Homo-oligomer: A and B are copies of this chain.
Amino acid sequence: MLIQTAAAPQHVAPLSAVHREMDLPLVGLIPGQVMDVDAEEEIHGEGEPAQYAYRVVSGAVRSFTLLADGRRQIEAFHFPGDVFGIDVGTLHRVSAEAVCTTRLLVIKRSQIEALSQRDCSAARELWNWTAQALERARAQMLLLGRKTALEKVASFILAMARKDDGMLELPMCRSDIADYLGLTIETVSRTLSQLERCGAIALPASRRIELRSRGKLAALTE
């Protein structure tokens, strides 16, 4: 992390009130602090005390859980605007790492707690974030349990291309994609090549995907 390497997030620079308000409606009532993390750096670990919650300003974050032998399931990627790390108990139930150089807003859990006890609309916003995460988790369960490799990769591309159109730049490597989709890197790679061959996408660079036919992709999504 920027400036200091201590385990706990360090204050870097308070954001201007205007900027903060734009980025954090409601939860923005709490004075968040900016934190910069390098690529691959851990933000919080599974089982650690949940002292902070986070909002992505720029960059990307992966939340994941591990099995004893190291198999990894990435639960979600978090992009600018997304909130993560709000767990109900006192411990984080997943680990989170920066996928690339990432800037975060850090919010003290104790302040969230205090606010949500005073302000029902803040409590409601907390609920909203968790419900949104649940909604995504449900879609991911359907993908993991019932879709083929082709459908998984097509769904992934369409989900990542929500905002952009035509071209998208992936911040994560193949093994991140594989662990998100419940596949191996080889299968991800083969499937992307297959999508390129059939004209659905183009792959000008390994982390750049050009959408050639949204229709073909959508048809494969089932």
A residues sitting closer than 8 Å to B (CB atoms) are: 65, 67-69, 71-73, 75, 87-88, 93-94, 116-121, 123-124, 126-128, 130-135, 137-142, 144-147, 179, 181-182, 222
- Chain A interface SS verdict (over half): helix
Known: A117-B124, A124-B116, A124-B123. A73 touches B145 (CB 8 A): yes
Q: Can you report 23 residue pairs joining A to B where beta carbons are below 8 Å apart?
A: A65-B139, A65-B142, A67-B146, A71-B222, A72-B146, A73-B141, A87-B131, A116-B127, A117-B120, A117-B121, A117-B124, A118-B120, A120-B120, A123-B123, A123-B127, A127-B127, A127-B130, A134-B134, A134-B137, A141-B141, A144-B182, A145-B181, A146-B182
Contact at A222–B69, with CB atoms within 8 Å?
Answer: yes
Copies of this chain held together in the complex? 2
Contact at A140–B141, with CB atoms within 8 Å?
Answer: yes
Closest to A113 in B: B124
Q: State how many angstroms separate the Cβ of A114 from the closest Cβ of chain B.
A: 11
